[in-house]
Amino acid sequence: MEKNPSNSEDYQDKGYESKEIELFDLLKIIWKWKIFIMLGTAVCFTVVSITTLYMPKVYRIESILSPGTINIKPIEQVDDALASPFDLLIRKPFYINSPKNIKELIDSGSFDKDILQTVNQAYPHIKLETYNYKVKLLPINDIISISISSSNIETGKTALRALIDFLKENDLKKVKIFQSEINDIIHSIENKIEGNELLIDSHKFNTSSIERRINELKYEIEQLNFDLANLVKERKKILNESDSKNNILSSLLFSNVINQYQEFIYANEGKLFDLKLAKEEETRQIISLKNTSRKLKSDIESLKLDSKRAQIIQTVQAPHSSSEPIGPSIKRILGVTFGTAFTSMIMLSFLFEYLFTHKNQKSN
């Protein structure tokens, strides 16, 4: 069965006409209830406007901090081959509390209770508010930005100052532990220096003894050489005499004695050489120990300086408030209020129209 095109076109025309009638009816209802819609919207807008004006203004309080560090000898200035154990033990800067640890410490609420007590003591007549700390880790030099929102600028600044003070106290405890460890290391180095001084005194005594023995051997060698020279002269004198037979025997005796003297001289010269080597070794040991003690004393001064340079968390920018309040956003609130109120009034007008129409139909 074929469809009649004319019937299809009539159906579509009726549909469009029905839609136009429905839209026209809606506009008629809105126009009928226009005073209600405008008054309702105006009342809601006015109430919210007045309420917004009396809402407390919220300010942003912010401070910027730099983590505490223990500034010690940079690693590139130390040669492992020449470094003492104390150089290798402590030789590069590190954080007392890293920025990440500080953020976790604040986010965990470790200081919230103490901060509220501090603010309450400073402002006992002001109602306490809970502070939500926002911590940002800035990439430049590991700077930390801490901010809070508060309806009272002074209490907000006090809360932020209290947080900074508690962070500094926390760092100070760690610095004291570090300084105590440094003092223990210094005490250990001082003991080593005292041990070196005792060794130096011992080597000096050995050097003095060796020097004394060297002088004795030199004197003995000098005497032996003197006696040897006299023996050689006597032997020559005997050989020059006329009695050759007796002279030969005497000469042989003198030769034996001369050989013995020469052996004594060679033996003493050998001892003298060994003693000089021993003296040089003792001197080298003294110089080495003195250099070590000098280096250890330098380590002590460096460690004392490192102990003094231990720096707790620093305030780069003191707590300060935003020049303008960050909340409430009046324009945003009023815009949302107007849109919501206007839409609600239109929906109510449709509801009232339906109720009145349904009531009239029942009465008829």
pLDDT of residue 238: 73
Peptide bond into 67 cis (omega under 30): no
Contact 193, 298 (CB under 8 A): no
What burial class does residue 323 get, using C-beta atoms within 10 Å of its C-beta: 0-12 exposed, 13-18 middle, 19+ buried?
Answer: exposed
What's the 3-state SS for 168-207? HHHHHHHHHHHHHHHHHHHHHHHHHHHHHHHHHHHHHHHH
- Rounded Cα–Cα distance for residues 344 and 346 (Å): 5
Helices 34-54 and 330-363: angle between axes, nearest 10 degrees: 150
Structure token pair of residue 77: 């200035």
Kindly state the percentage of the chain with pLDDT values over 70.
Answer: 82
Q: How far is CA 296 from CA 86, 202, 204, in A?
A: 9, 20, 20
**DSSP H/E element including 362:** helix 330-363
The C-alpha atoms of residue 273 and residue 260 are separated, in whole angstroms, by: 20
Does the pLDDT value for residue 9 go beyond 70? Answer: no
CA–CA separation, 199 and 203 (whole Å): 6
Q: What is the pTM of this model?
A: 0.59
42-58 residue pLDDT tens = 888 888 877 777 777 88
Q: How confident is the model at residue 184 (pLDDT cuts 50, 70, 90)?
A: very high
Count of beta carbons in the 10 Å neighbourhood of residue 233: 11
Q: CA nearest 262: which of 215, 218, 225?
A: 225
Q: Which of 74-83, 86-95, 178-187 has the lowest mean pLDDT?
A: 74-83
In this structure, is the dihedral angle defined by the CA atoms of residues 81, 82, 84 and 87, taken in order, positive or negative? negative
Helix (H/G/I), strand (E/B), else coil: 151: coil
CB–CB of 341/41 below 8 Å? yes
Label residues 121-151 b or e (16+ Cβ within 10 Å = b). eeeeeeeebebebebeeeeeebbbebbbbbb
